[in-house]
């Protein structure tokens, strides 16, 4: 039994869950034909999304789906299929990443491992209110001070800008505007002076946000193993 949480994304409005080793080495010249054949062979399951962007898949493998997740599933849009896994390695990603030469990348494709075997798959889209996610994120952000949150939101290039503006304007301050820019740069540079501290703050906040976002999938699949060739029960 296992629960996989796999982020991915697409620029061609279609995601897929697939066995990596069964995919073509490079992207096929006739992708629809090639991927249709792979889907019929039980090597992938395709999810047209209707839009580009990032998506998160939860896969419940011989595991009961929690009620809180099931309540967000659009049960009327259920998809059914079969996956036949022989080499353990699967992936969730945009259809453009369905090749063996594509490296795992959380923005486009995430790889994982499962027990070899034959799985009956039911898939659902979800509709989770934005307010639910926002309220969870707001609760997490309360752990950080307003200054921490400000530092996390400041673009990284502003550090360099503040340094250049501080020293440049101190040397060449011929106008009142230059003095103002210099002062602003000095203040910001003081706030951002500890680059290691800034990095740690960003990492802590990003990790906390990610832990919340990973709880709310856009696609959910239930995978039930069936006896058959290649199946290795635990």
The string of DSSP codes covering 152-165 is: HHS-THHHHHHHHH
Candidates 2.60.34.30, 3.30.365.10, 3.40.630.10, 2.70.180.20; correct CATH number of 2-127+217-226? 2.60.34.30
Between 119-128, 129-138, 160-169, the lowest mean confidence (pLDDT) is in 160-169
Query: What residue ranges do the domains of the chain occupy?
Result: 2-127+217-226, 132-209
Answer with the residue of higher pLDDT: 202 or 232. 202
pTM: 0.71
Buried b / exposed e along 162-198 (16+ C-beta atoms within 10 A): bbebbeebeeeeeeeebeebbeebbebbebbeeeeeb
Return the pLDDT at 95: 97
- Please name which of 20, 21, 45, 26 lies closest in space to residue 35, comparing C-alpha atoms: 45
């Amino acid at each position: 039994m296992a629960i996989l949480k796999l982020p991915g994304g697409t620029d061609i409005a279609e995601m897929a869950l697939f066995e990596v080793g069964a995919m073509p080495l490079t992207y096929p010249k006739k992708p629809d034909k090639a991927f249709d054949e792979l889907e019929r062979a039980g090597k992938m399951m395709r999810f047209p999304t209707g839009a580009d962007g990032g998506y998160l898949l939860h896969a419940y493998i011989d595991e009961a789906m929690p009620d809180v997740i099931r309540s967000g599933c659009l049960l009327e849009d259920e998809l059914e299929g079969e996956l036949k896994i022989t080499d353990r390695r699967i992936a969730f990603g945009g259809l453009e990443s369905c090749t063996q030469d594509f490296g795992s990348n959380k923005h486009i494709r995430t790889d994982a491992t499962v027990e070899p075997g034959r799985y009956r798959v039911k898939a659902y889209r979800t509709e989770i209110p934005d307010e639910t996610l926002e309220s969870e994120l707001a609760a997490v952000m309360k752990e950080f001070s307003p200054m921490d949150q400000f530092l996390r939101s400041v673009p990284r290039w502003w550090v360099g800008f503040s340094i250049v503006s501080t020293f440049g304007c101190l040397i060449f301050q011929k106008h009142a505007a230059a003095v103002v820019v210099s002062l602003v740069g000095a203040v910001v540079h003081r706030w951002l002076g500890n680059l290691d501290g800034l990095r740690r703050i960003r990492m802590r906040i990003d990790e906390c946000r990610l832990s919340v976002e990973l709880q709310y999938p856009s696609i959910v699949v239930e995978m039930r193993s069936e006896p058959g060739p290649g199946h290795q029960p635990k």
